[in-house]
């Protein structure tokens, strides 16, 4: 009876999506106050990228009975930390850039700035998260699901569906929060974006430090 492992994978994927580093990454994209459709697109693209990386690399590891070296795992985690740091810096630069444009507009200059949302950025970020999370997840597959590549693939697929659904829902909720805050109280909206930038950068530094200390 394989229904229980697959249902477990679905629930585990849903919970996995809501880890702090995942939410921090997606929040940096939706904090630019896109509409609900664009917000969910950011979340879904992240989930698809994460799921694709897990599925492809995970199946290769299971089929070939390989394990990711500990050094490579730490390297991937360090890379994810650097990515979070970069996303935080990018968002902080965006906040400061828009502030400069507002000040210029008050001084009589015209503001023609248009936000650039990096449509496919969340896809690549999701793939990076998936690669960094492959080793610990795949390490559990042989014990939980025997050595059936088909069952392992189904497990990873259901895990990915749960991850994508959860992140899509989170992205919509976060997008609505930023949109409402920015529309009703612009200062609060800018403050939330600044906090998001600082939080993402801080979490990235913590990840990088953790990867280095474990090396």
pLDDT tens, residue by residue, 147-159: 677 788 888 889 9
Domain assignment present for 69: yes
Q: Is residue 27 part of a domain?
A: yes
CB 33, CB 178: distance < 8 Å:
yes
Number of structural domains found in the chain: 1
Nearest to 154 by CA among 19, 5, 30, 27: 5
108 has a pLDDT exceeding 60: no
Torsional sign, CA 206, 207, 212, 215? positive
Nearest CA to 87 among 171, 177, 22, 166? 22
Residue 40 in any domain: the answer is: yes
Closest to 128 (Cα-Cα) out of 46, 195, 201, 191: 46
Give a yes or no: residue 116 inside a domain: no
- pLDDT band at residue 64 under the 50/70/90 scheme: confident
Determine contact, residues 89/201, Cβ cutoff 8 Å.
Answer: yes
115 found inside a domain = no
40, 168 contact by CB (below 8 A): yes
Domain membership flag for residue 110 = no
CA nearest neighbour of 62 among 149, 3, 126, 155: 149
- Provide Rg for the chain, Cα atoms: 19
Q: Give 113-169 pLDDT, tens digit per residue.
A: 444 555 678 899 999 998 887 766 765 665 455 567 778 888 888 999 999 999 999
* 3-state secondary structure at position 117: coil
| Structure confidence at residue 69 as a pLDDT band (50, 70, 90) | confident
Whether residue 111 is predicted with pLDDT greater than 50 in this model: the reply is: no
Is residue 78 within 8 A of residue 208, CB to CB? The reply is: yes
CB atoms under 10 Å from CB of 95, counted, come to 18
In-domain check, residue 135: yes
* Domain encompassing residue 50: 3-103+122-214
199 belongs to a structural domain: yes
Say how far apart CA 17 and CA 92 lie, in whole Å. Answer: 24
Show the tokens assigned to 172.
Answer: 């919509």
């Amino acid at each position: 009876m394989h229904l229980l492992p697959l249902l477990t994978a679905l629930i585990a994927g849903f919970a996995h999506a809501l880890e702090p580093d995942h939410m921090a990454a997606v929040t940096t994209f939706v904090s630019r106050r896109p509409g609900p459709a664009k917000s969910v697109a950011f979340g879904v693209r992240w989930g698809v990228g994460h799921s694709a990386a897990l599925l492809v690399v995970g199946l290769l590891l299971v089929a070939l009975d390989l394990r990711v070296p500990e050094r490579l795992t730490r390297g991937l985690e360090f890379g994810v930390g650097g990515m979070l740091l970069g996303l935080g810096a990018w968002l902080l630069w965006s906040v400061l850039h828009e502030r400069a444009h507002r000040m210029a507009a008050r001084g009589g200059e015209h503001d023609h700035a248009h936000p650039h949302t990096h449509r496919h950025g969340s896809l690549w970020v999701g793939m990076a998260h998936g690669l960094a999370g492959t080793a610990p997840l795949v390490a559990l597959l042989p014990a939980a699901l025997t050595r059936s590549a088909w069952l392992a693939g189904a497990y990873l697929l259901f895990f990915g569906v749960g991850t994508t659904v959860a992140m899509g829902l989170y992205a919509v909720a976060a997008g609505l929060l930023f949109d409402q805050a920015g529309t009703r109280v612009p200062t609060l909206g800018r403050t939330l974006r600044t906090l998001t930038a600082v939080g993402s950068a801080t979490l990235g530094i913590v990840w990088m430090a953790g990867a280095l200390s474990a090396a």
